[in-house]
Structure 1
Amino acid sequence: MNFEPSAKAKDYLERVKQFMREHIEPAEERYYQEVMEASRGGDWKTWPVSSVMEDLKARAKAKGLWNLFLPDEKLAPGLTTLEYAPIAEETGRSLMAPEVFNCNAPDTGNMEVLWKYGTPAQQERWLKPLLAGEIRSVFCMTEPGVASSDATNMEATAVVEGDEVILNGTKWWSTGLGHPNAKVTIFMARTPDAGGDRHHQHSMVLVPLDAPGVTIKRMLPVFGEYDAPHGHGEVRFDNVRVPLSNIIGGPGMGFEIAQGRLGPGRIHHCMRCVGAAERALELMIDRGMNRTAFGKPIMNLGGNRERVAEARIAIDQARLLTLYAAWKMDQVGPLGAMTEISAIKVVAPSMLQHIVDDAIQIHGGAGVSNDTALAGFFGQARTLRLADGPDEVHKGVIARIELAKRGFSRK
């Protein structure tokens, strides 16, 4: 295996780094000030489109730094998962950067679903404007009434009736639901009449957010922050009727599509964790060397130098494991790289959480404020240990595969 980036990937990476330095880093403070002022009180209906973000997106698009995640040379630069991984790491240094390059969740996963499984009509109506950055999208899977770590628990339904699908259920933690440009969601639900085994009884359905019966109930704060202007919302579907042609891949194909959707996305998340950890380590070192207590730099007190060393080791381990997962997925696909993908989903967010926690400690009160990126990174790390499956589920997948190697069944 060879993790050395291609000349093409190196060129894009250097251009992204330059864009981050020249445009994103100087705009971060203005952007977050704009977001904070807009989101006071949690009234998502008043959240505006960010002028700072829209300006940056236009600049990135003009420079060809757009849709870098999609491995299709007709629609994007056509980078492989492994080639895109270092770029995802770089964008992870800023919580706003992925959206600037139209490489942010859940849009990336939704675009990949439409690219892989969508009909020409679905692609024309939804994929095309998503790729252009003209609209935003949502993914509705998690439910408040069941343990969503087991997706077969899903209570929401998508019932086929003639040439329509009738949708019912409540979803929450639906990221992007509060964005003013959010126009469509992918709704995953049980299709009782789909037949097949327990993993072929669910469907993914495209639902316009303005369809009758779709009601956004509220936005959910994460550690007291509403993550405007995207938001993580609770939404109710009451007898929502959409055409049968809105089902992606056909009834009962939801789980198969989900596996194809989550593999690349998990690698993107984990590489962004590595980038965030690198920035947290830099902030920790700078603070520790420039702040004094008891006549010494803080870095020379309380074992802080050891924490720096441990952070460097942990970051490099997580990066190598994630690059290996990306390489293997490119070689054999998501199902062939299940151990590696599950492993990085455990390792990378936990690594980031630990390093950010150390950086916060060195910053003191400033670390838990919005004066640095640390509080945002901590929220990102902690929530990623739940998103796309909790740590325990991923460890269970790894253990099951290891036991199977020794001839032991699921039981």
Structure 2
Amino acid sequence: MPNPAVGSRSPETLQLIEAAEQSVLFTAARPAVIMEKGEGMYLWDTEGRSYLDFIGGWAVNALGHSPQVIQEALAEQSAQLVNASPGFYNKPMVEFAKQLTELSVFNRVFFGSSGSEANESALKLARKYGALHRGGAYEIITTLGGFHGRTLAMMSATGKPYWEPLFAPKVPGFRHVPFNDLEAMRDAISERTCAVMIEPVQGEGGVHPADLAYVQGLRELCDEHGILLIFDEIQTGLGRTGKLFAYEHYGIEPDIMTLGKGIGGGFPLSAMLTKERYNLFEPGEQGGTYTGQPLAMAVGMAVVGAIVEQQLSDHAKELGDYIQAELSSIAARYQLSGIRGMGLLLAFDLPQPKGPELVAAAMANGLIINAPSPSVIRLMPPLIASHSDVDEMLKRLRLALDAVLDA
């Protein structure tokens, strides 16, 4: 298959690419490809080329591309009610909130449209708690290598050193400590601290799971100091790690959890969940035009229902183990190392910092993968992926590895 970024392209594709380069604000180095259609595990561009998608719309398309349940939910709900305003309850909002609380250890849900919005909600709630119960404490401790979003506050919360000078001045009130280092967290807690926020698996940071003892120690530390433990499960939630929620791996309960990405299966949707005792907001302190929007609620309810009914959490665990075993079988040939992850959130290290080149070579062979850093490759396919999909992925991955690495 020729490289989709070069070679002959139809006049329509060339016109679309030119229009994109002239009209779309530059925020990412996208390949010169226009995606047009998606079904199951595959995407197709305007040239008719197909791509096996092993990043799943960035861990978003839990049920694959254009699943029937989302089509039906949108059609049915759009014929009934599209928007009533956030000033009213609507039926799918109530039903979806009830579904999520019954599936989790939480009692209350706030709905948003993006992961950053859900995380902002969590931090606002934590600061409200600090104002009421911790003498005005406002500081949130996060971890180096973590990622919480791209709003200004979430960039301030994210522990990426190269982000520090961007868009200064940053939002104050955040401290960053090393991940999986309980003593560093203990030393960082002060009378100003209202919460600790972590990803149970650092996704953008290279797929690094939190240690069991670390998470259990964090729960004890937070209880000892009367501060909140927030789990950012934007990427790990809804079956991806082999459990419905990643906190279930650790035998603890967070005080707040955020969900995004897979919760809408591709439709913009996020949620912040918390316990009844942290139901602290007053009218006007938190909201949003699209919170609880009926279309999103109907889609979310359908997606979560399908994940549960099809037991996709168990499937993610089994298939993730299979992928890790298969990667291990070719590791020596290509000098791959650090094969890791949970469920269908996986990564491995390359012997050379050629991640971007490998991603491009894979795409030329009809495979979509991700390099969160130059030496790391991440896989986060739809939860519906099959063993045959994995076998096809590995075949195309090996072609890319052969082309890029000096193996």
Query: TM-score, normalising length from structure 1?
Result: 0.27
More relative contact order, 1 or 2 (CA 8 Å, 6+ apart): 2
Query: TM-score, normalising length from structure 2?
Result: 0.27
